[in-house]
Amino acid sequence: MDVGGHEHQHSQFVDDQDLPQWLYERARRAVLDRRLRVDQSLTDTLQAHGPAGLFIDPESILVSSSLRHTRSSARKGTAMHHAHLSDQAFVIIAKSLAEGVGVAATARIQGVDKKTVLLVLAKAGEHAAKIDRALMRNLIVSECQLDEMWSFIGKKEKNLEPDEKLRGELGDAWIWIAFDAVNKVAIASVIGKRTQPHAVELLQKVKRVTARMPTLFSSDQLDQYGNALLEVYGTLMTPPRKPGPGRPPNPRLVPPDDLLYVQVVKEYKKSRVVKVTRKVVFGDPDRVSAILESSSVSSAINTSYIERYNGTVRHIDARCTRKTLRFSKCKDNHVRQLALSFAYYHLCLPHRSLSKQYGQPTTPIMAAGLTDHVWTMGELLTSRDENLRSQS
Protein backbone atom coordinates (compact mmCIF):
# COMPACT_ATOMS: atom_id res chain seq x y z
CA MET A 1 0.00 0.00 0.00
CA ASP A 2 1.21 3.50 -0.86
CA VAL A 3 -0.10 5.97 1.78
CA GLY A 4 1.13 8.99 -0.11
CA GLY A 5 -0.53 8.08 -3.42
CA HIS A 6 -3.75 6.76 -4.87
CA GLU A 7 -2.83 3.09 -5.34
CA HIS A 8 -4.03 0.69 -2.70
CA GLN A 9 -4.69 -3.02 -2.48
CA HIS A 10 -7.84 -3.06 -0.37
CA SER A 11 -10.81 -0.73 0.07
CA GLN A 12 -11.99 -1.42 3.60
CA PHE A 13 -10.95 -3.36 6.69
CA VAL A 14 -13.53 -5.91 7.74
CA ASP A 15 -13.20 -5.58 11.53
CA ASP A 16 -14.57 -2.14 12.51
CA GLN A 17 -14.09 -2.90 16.20
CA ASP A 18 -10.28 -2.96 15.83
CA LEU A 19 -9.19 0.58 16.78
CA PRO A 20 -5.77 0.53 15.03
CA GLN A 21 -7.38 -0.69 11.81
CA TRP A 22 -10.16 1.91 12.07
CA LEU A 23 -7.68 4.76 12.53
CA TYR A 24 -5.51 3.43 9.72
CA GLU A 25 -8.46 3.23 7.34
CA ARG A 26 -9.65 6.70 8.25
CA ALA A 27 -6.20 8.19 7.64
CA ARG A 28 -5.86 6.35 4.32
CA ARG A 29 -9.20 7.65 3.09
CA ALA A 30 -8.32 11.18 4.18
CA VAL A 31 -5.14 11.05 2.13
CA LEU A 32 -6.91 9.64 -0.93
CA ASP A 33 -9.56 12.39 -1.09
CA ARG A 34 -6.91 15.03 -0.31
CA ARG A 35 -8.37 16.13 3.03
CA LEU A 36 -5.10 15.46 4.78
CA ARG A 37 -1.47 16.07 3.94
CA VAL A 38 0.83 13.60 5.69
CA ASP A 39 4.46 14.46 6.29
CA GLN A 40 7.05 12.09 4.84
CA SER A 41 8.28 10.72 8.18
CA LEU A 42 4.80 9.60 9.17
CA THR A 43 4.24 8.09 5.72
CA ASP A 44 7.44 6.07 6.05
CA THR A 45 6.36 4.85 9.49
CA LEU A 46 3.00 3.67 8.17
CA GLN A 47 4.57 1.89 5.22
CA ALA A 48 7.09 0.12 7.46
CA HIS A 49 4.82 -0.85 10.35
CA GLY A 50 1.24 -0.76 9.06
CA PRO A 51 -1.52 0.13 11.56
CA ALA A 52 0.90 -0.29 14.49
CA GLY A 53 2.81 2.73 13.16
CA LEU A 54 0.00 4.99 14.33
CA PHE A 55 1.05 4.38 17.95
CA ILE A 56 4.81 4.74 17.56
CA ASP A 57 4.51 8.53 17.88
CA PRO A 58 1.18 9.39 19.60
CA GLU A 59 1.85 13.12 19.16
CA SER A 60 1.44 12.71 15.40
CA ILE A 61 -1.70 10.54 15.41
CA LEU A 62 -3.60 11.11 12.21
CA VAL A 63 -7.07 11.65 13.65
CA SER A 64 -6.05 14.74 15.58
CA SER A 65 -4.18 15.98 12.52
CA SER A 66 -7.17 15.57 10.26
CA LEU A 67 -9.44 17.60 12.57
CA ARG A 68 -7.43 20.71 11.80
CA HIS A 69 -8.52 20.50 8.17
CA THR A 70 -12.23 19.86 8.56
CA ARG A 71 -14.92 22.42 7.79
CA SER A 72 -15.46 23.21 11.49
CA SER A 73 -11.92 24.59 11.87
CA ALA A 74 -13.10 28.05 10.82
CA ARG A 75 -15.31 28.07 13.93
CA LYS A 76 -12.55 27.07 16.31
CA GLY A 77 -12.45 29.41 19.29
CA THR A 78 -16.07 30.49 18.79
CA ALA A 79 -19.29 29.31 20.40
CA MET A 80 -20.27 27.50 17.18
CA HIS A 81 -17.27 25.17 17.20
CA HIS A 82 -18.42 21.56 16.61
CA ALA A 83 -22.07 22.68 16.39
CA HIS A 84 -24.24 21.15 13.65
CA LEU A 85 -26.42 24.26 13.29
CA SER A 86 -25.88 27.07 10.82
CA ASP A 87 -24.48 30.31 12.19
CA GLN A 88 -27.80 32.09 11.76
CA ALA A 89 -29.81 29.39 13.55
CA PHE A 90 -27.29 29.25 16.38
CA VAL A 91 -27.39 33.04 16.86
CA ILE A 92 -31.21 33.17 16.83
CA ILE A 93 -31.51 30.45 19.48
CA ALA A 94 -28.86 32.07 21.70
CA LYS A 95 -30.50 35.48 21.37
CA SER A 96 -33.89 33.99 22.23
CA LEU A 97 -32.45 32.52 25.44
CA ALA A 98 -30.72 35.81 26.29
CA GLU A 99 -34.00 37.71 25.84
CA GLY A 100 -35.75 35.68 28.53
CA VAL A 101 -37.45 32.98 26.45
CA GLY A 102 -37.42 29.54 28.04
CA VAL A 103 -35.76 26.45 26.59
CA ALA A 104 -38.99 24.63 25.68
CA ALA A 105 -40.55 27.75 24.15
CA THR A 106 -37.41 28.44 22.12
CA ALA A 107 -37.46 24.87 20.82
CA ARG A 108 -41.08 25.24 19.71
CA ILE A 109 -40.55 28.63 18.08
CA GLN A 110 -37.40 27.60 16.18
CA GLY A 111 -38.69 24.13 15.29
CA VAL A 112 -35.76 22.28 16.84
CA ASP A 113 -35.39 19.67 19.53
CA LYS A 114 -35.08 20.75 23.16
CA LYS A 115 -31.70 19.03 23.36
CA THR A 116 -30.48 21.25 20.53
CA VAL A 117 -31.46 24.36 22.50
CA LEU A 118 -29.64 23.03 25.58
CA LEU A 119 -26.56 22.38 23.43
CA VAL A 120 -26.66 25.99 22.20
CA LEU A 121 -27.06 27.16 25.80
CA ALA A 122 -24.04 25.16 26.92
CA LYS A 123 -21.78 26.42 24.13
CA ALA A 124 -23.05 30.02 24.15
CA GLY A 125 -23.00 30.32 27.95
CA GLU A 126 -19.47 29.00 28.33
CA HIS A 127 -18.23 31.18 25.48
CA ALA A 128 -19.97 34.26 26.90
CA ALA A 129 -18.25 33.68 30.25
CA LYS A 130 -14.86 33.61 28.48
CA ILE A 131 -15.61 36.88 26.66
CA ASP A 132 -16.74 38.56 29.88
CA ARG A 133 -13.56 37.43 31.68
CA ALA A 134 -11.40 38.65 28.81
CA LEU A 135 -12.99 42.12 28.86
CA MET A 136 -13.37 42.61 32.64
CA ARG A 137 -9.86 43.76 33.48
CA ASN A 138 -8.47 46.78 35.34
CA LEU A 139 -11.87 48.34 35.99
CA ILE A 140 -12.07 51.66 37.82
CA VAL A 141 -15.07 51.48 40.16
CA SER A 142 -16.14 54.35 42.37
CA GLU A 143 -19.37 52.96 43.85
CA CYS A 144 -19.65 49.18 44.24
CA GLN A 145 -23.04 47.95 45.43
CA LEU A 146 -23.38 44.41 46.78
CA ASP A 147 -26.52 42.30 46.96
CA GLU A 148 -27.78 38.74 46.66
CA MET A 149 -30.79 37.58 44.65
CA TRP A 150 -32.75 34.43 45.45
CA SER A 151 -33.22 31.60 42.97
CA PHE A 152 -33.38 27.84 43.27
CA ILE A 153 -32.31 24.70 41.43
CA GLY A 154 -34.50 21.61 41.15
CA LYS A 155 -36.75 22.37 44.11
CA LYS A 156 -37.02 24.92 46.88
CA GLU A 157 -34.93 24.49 50.00
CA LYS A 158 -37.92 23.68 52.20
CA ASN A 159 -38.83 20.72 49.98
CA LEU A 160 -35.40 19.05 50.00
CA GLU A 161 -34.92 15.57 51.39
CA PRO A 162 -32.19 15.13 54.06
CA ASP A 163 -29.79 13.44 51.62
CA GLU A 164 -30.37 16.23 49.07
CA LYS A 165 -29.48 18.83 51.68
CA LEU A 166 -26.23 17.00 52.39
CA ARG A 167 -25.24 16.95 48.71
CA GLY A 168 -25.93 20.68 48.40
CA GLU A 169 -26.69 20.50 44.67
CA LEU A 170 -30.37 21.43 44.80
CA GLY A 171 -32.40 24.01 46.68
CA ASP A 172 -31.63 27.69 47.19
CA ALA A 173 -29.10 29.10 44.73
CA TRP A 174 -28.44 32.69 45.73
CA ILE A 175 -26.95 34.88 43.01
CA TRP A 176 -24.36 37.15 44.65
CA ILE A 177 -23.67 40.25 42.54
CA ALA A 178 -21.24 43.15 42.77
CA PHE A 179 -22.47 46.11 40.70
CA ASP A 180 -20.83 49.29 39.43
CA ALA A 181 -23.51 51.91 40.10
CA VAL A 182 -21.92 54.50 37.77
CA ASN A 183 -21.31 52.43 34.63
CA LYS A 184 -24.06 49.86 35.33
CA VAL A 185 -21.64 46.94 35.01
CA ALA A 186 -22.10 43.69 36.93
CA ILE A 187 -18.48 43.39 38.04
CA ALA A 188 -18.71 39.89 39.49
CA SER A 189 -21.22 37.20 40.37
CA VAL A 190 -21.32 33.94 42.31
CA ILE A 191 -24.05 31.29 42.54
CA GLY A 192 -24.31 29.41 45.81
CA LYS A 193 -25.76 29.30 49.28
CA ARG A 194 -26.08 32.35 51.51
CA THR A 195 -22.85 31.61 53.36
CA GLN A 196 -19.61 33.38 54.20
CA PRO A 197 -17.38 31.54 51.67
CA HIS A 198 -19.56 32.72 48.78
CA ALA A 199 -19.38 36.32 49.98
CA VAL A 200 -15.59 36.02 50.12
CA GLU A 201 -15.51 34.51 46.62
CA LEU A 202 -17.54 37.45 45.30
CA LEU A 203 -15.16 40.03 46.80
CA GLN A 204 -12.13 38.11 45.54
CA LYS A 205 -13.54 38.33 42.01
CA VAL A 206 -14.07 42.07 42.48
CA LYS A 207 -10.47 42.47 43.57
CA ARG A 208 -9.25 40.45 40.60
CA VAL A 209 -11.01 42.55 37.91
CA THR A 210 -10.50 46.03 39.38
CA ALA A 211 -7.37 48.14 39.05
CA ARG A 212 -7.72 49.34 42.64
CA MET A 213 -10.12 48.94 45.51
CA PRO A 214 -13.53 50.54 44.79
CA THR A 215 -13.95 53.90 46.51
CA LEU A 216 -17.19 53.02 48.29
CA PHE A 217 -18.90 49.71 49.07
CA SER A 218 -22.57 49.58 49.98
CA SER A 219 -24.91 46.71 50.79
CA ASP A 220 -27.86 45.67 52.91
CA GLN A 221 -27.43 44.54 56.52
CA LEU A 222 -26.21 41.00 55.72
CA ASP A 223 -23.31 40.26 58.08
CA GLN A 224 -21.29 38.27 55.55
CA TYR A 225 -20.31 41.35 53.53
CA GLY A 226 -18.41 43.09 56.31
CA ASN A 227 -16.50 39.94 57.21
CA ALA A 228 -15.73 39.22 53.56
CA LEU A 229 -14.41 42.76 53.02
CA LEU A 230 -12.06 42.28 55.96
CA GLU A 231 -10.87 38.93 54.67
CA VAL A 232 -10.19 40.21 51.16
CA TYR A 233 -9.04 43.80 51.75
CA GLY A 234 -8.17 43.85 55.45
CA THR A 235 -4.69 43.90 56.96
CA LEU A 236 -3.50 41.69 59.79
CA MET A 237 -2.56 43.62 62.93
CA THR A 238 -1.63 42.61 66.46
CA PRO A 239 -3.25 44.89 69.08
CA PRO A 240 -0.95 46.28 71.81
CA ARG A 241 -0.76 44.14 74.90
CA LYS A 242 -2.53 45.41 77.98
CA PRO A 243 -0.52 45.75 81.18
CA GLY A 244 -0.77 42.94 83.71
CA PRO A 245 -0.93 39.15 83.49
CA GLY A 246 -2.65 37.25 80.74
CA ARG A 247 -2.06 36.00 77.24
CA PRO A 248 -0.98 38.43 74.52
CA PRO A 249 -3.76 39.32 72.05
CA ASN A 250 -4.00 37.37 68.80
CA PRO A 251 -3.54 39.11 65.45
CA ARG A 252 -6.78 40.25 63.85
CA LEU A 253 -7.96 41.71 60.58
CA VAL A 254 -8.59 45.45 60.54
CA PRO A 255 -9.96 47.55 57.67
CA PRO A 256 -7.41 49.72 55.85
CA ASP A 257 -7.83 53.48 56.12
CA ASP A 258 -9.15 53.82 52.56
CA LEU A 259 -11.83 51.11 52.90
CA LEU A 260 -15.28 52.71 53.02
CA TYR A 261 -18.25 50.44 53.63
CA VAL A 262 -21.83 51.54 54.33
CA GLN A 263 -25.07 49.66 54.92
CA VAL A 264 -28.74 50.23 54.23
CA VAL A 265 -30.67 48.70 57.15
CA LYS A 266 -34.32 47.88 56.49
CA GLU A 267 -36.83 47.01 59.20
CA TYR A 268 -39.75 44.81 58.19
CA LYS A 269 -43.19 44.31 59.61
CA LYS A 270 -45.46 41.69 58.04
CA SER A 271 -43.13 41.42 55.04
CA ARG A 272 -43.26 45.16 54.39
CA VAL A 273 -40.48 47.70 54.88
CA VAL A 274 -41.50 50.09 57.65
CA LYS A 275 -38.20 51.85 58.34
CA VAL A 276 -34.89 52.44 56.57
CA THR A 277 -31.71 53.57 58.34
CA ARG A 278 -28.19 54.05 57.00
CA LYS A 279 -24.90 53.54 58.76
CA VAL A 280 -21.18 53.70 58.08
CA VAL A 281 -19.50 50.40 59.00
CA PHE A 282 -15.91 51.04 57.89
CA GLY A 283 -14.31 54.41 57.24
CA ASP A 284 -14.74 58.09 58.08
CA PRO A 285 -18.36 59.34 57.81
CA ASP A 286 -17.12 62.72 56.58
CA ARG A 287 -15.30 61.06 53.69
CA VAL A 288 -18.42 59.09 52.83
CA SER A 289 -20.47 62.30 52.78
CA ALA A 290 -17.90 64.00 50.55
CA ILE A 291 -17.98 61.09 48.08
CA LEU A 292 -21.77 61.10 47.92
CA GLU A 293 -21.86 64.88 47.39
CA SER A 294 -19.54 64.57 44.39
CA SER A 295 -21.21 61.42 43.02
CA SER A 296 -22.93 61.55 39.64
CA VAL A 297 -25.50 58.92 40.62
CA SER A 298 -26.00 58.87 44.41
CA SER A 299 -27.01 61.58 46.83
CA ALA A 300 -27.38 59.26 49.83
CA ILE A 301 -26.33 55.80 50.99
CA ASN A 302 -28.34 53.35 48.88
CA THR A 303 -28.47 50.01 47.06
CA SER A 304 -31.02 51.19 44.51
CA TYR A 305 -28.96 50.47 41.40
CA ILE A 306 -28.17 46.86 42.13
CA GLU A 307 -31.77 46.23 43.17
CA ARG A 308 -32.89 47.65 39.83
CA TYR A 309 -30.36 45.40 38.10
CA ASN A 310 -31.82 42.40 39.93
CA GLY A 311 -35.09 43.20 38.22
CA THR A 312 -33.31 43.25 34.86
CA VAL A 313 -31.80 39.83 35.55
CA ARG A 314 -35.22 38.37 36.34
CA HIS A 315 -36.48 39.86 33.08
CA ILE A 316 -33.76 38.52 30.73
CA ASP A 317 -32.97 35.24 32.52
CA ALA A 318 -36.00 32.95 32.30
CA ARG A 319 -34.61 30.71 35.05
CA CYS A 320 -34.88 33.56 37.55
CA THR A 321 -38.48 34.50 36.77
CA ARG A 322 -40.61 33.73 39.78
CA LYS A 323 -43.53 31.26 39.85
CA THR A 324 -42.91 29.59 36.50
CA LEU A 325 -41.84 26.12 35.36
CA ARG A 326 -38.65 27.48 33.79
CA PHE A 327 -36.45 27.11 36.86
CA SER A 328 -33.13 25.28 36.46
CA LYS A 329 -32.99 21.55 37.01
CA CYS A 330 -29.18 21.47 37.31
CA LYS A 331 -26.56 24.00 38.37
CA ASP A 332 -24.52 23.85 35.15
CA ASN A 333 -27.35 25.24 33.04
CA HIS A 334 -28.15 27.81 35.74
CA VAL A 335 -24.58 29.10 35.55
CA ARG A 336 -24.50 29.05 31.74
CA GLN A 337 -27.76 30.96 31.36
CA LEU A 338 -26.64 33.59 33.84
CA ALA A 339 -23.31 34.04 32.00
CA LEU A 340 -25.11 34.41 28.66
CA SER A 341 -27.58 36.91 30.13
CA PHE A 342 -24.79 38.95 31.76
CA ALA A 343 -22.72 39.13 28.56
CA TYR A 344 -25.78 40.03 26.47
CA TYR A 345 -26.69 42.80 28.93
CA HIS A 346 -23.13 44.12 29.04
CA LEU A 347 -22.38 44.10 25.32
CA CYS A 348 -25.57 43.96 23.25
CA LEU A 349 -28.28 45.88 25.13
CA PRO A 350 -27.99 49.71 25.08
CA HIS A 351 -28.76 51.03 28.55
CA ARG A 352 -31.45 53.69 28.58
CA SER A 353 -29.94 56.06 31.16
CA LEU A 354 -26.41 55.61 29.78
CA SER A 355 -27.61 56.26 26.24
CA LYS A 356 -29.31 59.44 27.42
CA GLN A 357 -26.17 60.51 29.27
CA TYR A 358 -23.79 59.95 26.32
CA GLY A 359 -26.19 61.00 23.55
CA GLN A 360 -25.95 57.70 21.64
CA PRO A 361 -26.79 54.02 22.19
CA THR A 362 -24.43 52.98 24.97
CA THR A 363 -23.95 49.65 26.71
CA PRO A 364 -22.43 49.26 30.19
CA ILE A 365 -19.18 47.94 28.73
CA MET A 366 -18.98 51.00 26.49
CA ALA A 367 -19.53 53.29 29.49
CA ALA A 368 -16.68 51.51 31.27
CA GLY A 369 -14.39 52.19 28.29
CA LEU A 370 -13.86 48.53 27.41
CA THR A 371 -15.34 48.69 23.89
CA ASP A 372 -16.42 51.42 21.47
CA HIS A 373 -19.62 50.02 19.91
CA VAL A 374 -22.76 48.03 20.58
CA TRP A 375 -22.13 44.36 19.83
CA THR A 376 -24.48 42.01 18.01
CA MET A 377 -25.18 38.55 19.35
CA GLY A 378 -23.28 37.15 16.38
CA GLU A 379 -20.23 39.21 17.30
CA LEU A 380 -20.45 38.02 20.89
CA LEU A 381 -20.57 34.37 19.85
CA THR A 382 -17.83 34.56 17.22
CA SER A 383 -15.30 36.77 19.04
CA ARG A 384 -12.27 34.93 20.38
CA ASP A 385 -11.24 35.63 23.95
CA GLU A 386 -7.52 35.33 23.17
CA ASN A 387 -7.84 38.17 20.63
CA LEU A 388 -9.56 40.39 23.22
CA ARG A 389 -6.84 39.68 25.78
CA SER A 390 -4.09 40.57 23.29
CA GLN A 391 -5.82 43.86 22.42
CA SER A 392 -6.14 45.00 26.05
pLDDT (tens digit, 9 = 90+) per residue, 199-209?
Answer: 999 999 999 99
Share of the chain above pLDDT 70, in %: 82
Domains of the chain, CATH where assigned: 19-69 (no CATH), 123-233+253-391 (3.30.420.10)
pLDDT of 312 higher than 70: yes
Angstrom CA distances, 154 to 119, 141, 201, 347, stand at 19, 36, 24, 30
Render pLDDT for 211-228 as a digit per residue (tens, 0 to 9): 999 999 999 999 999 999
CA 206 to chain centre: 13
Render pLDDT for 236-258 as a digit per residue (tens, 0 to 9): 998 888 888 888 888 899 999 99
From the list 204, 217, 225, 200, the residue with the least C-alpha distance to 142 is 217
pLDDT of 6 higher than 60: no
Render pLDDT for 28-83 as a digit per residue (tens, 0 to 9): 666 655 555 556 666 666 666 666 655 555 555 444 444 444 444 688 889 998 88
Q: How far apart are CA 97 and CA 92, in angstroms?
A: 9
Q: How far apart are CA 364 and CA 220, in angstroms?
A: 24
Helix (H, G, I), strand (E, B) or coil at 227: helix
Which is higher by pLDDT, 9 or 386? 386
* 385, containing H or E segment: helix 385-391
Q: How far apart are CA 369 and CA 185, in angstroms?
A: 11
Q: How far apart are CA 262 and CA 276, in angstroms?
A: 13
Which is higher by pLDDT, 386 or 25? 386
- The whole-number pLDDT of residue 67 equals 45
65: exposed, middle or buried (C-beta count within 10 Å: 0-12, 13-18, 19+)?
middle
- Strands 174-180 vs 143-149: parallel, antiparallel or unpaired: antiparallel
Render pLDDT for 339-378 as a digit per residue (tens, 0 to 9): 999 999 999 999 999 999 999 999 999 999 999 999 999 9
Share of the chain above pLDDT 90, in %: 69
- The whole-number pLDDT of residue 240 equals 85
pLDDT of 324 higher than 70: yes
Render pLDDT for 131-180 as a digit per residue (tens, 0 to 9): 999 999 999 999 999 999 999 999 999 999 999 988 888 999 999 999 99
From the list 180, 188, 194, the residue with the least C-alpha distance to 151 is 194
- The whole-number pLDDT of residue 241 equals 84
From the list 153, 154, 84, 76, the residue with the least C-alpha distance to 120 is 84
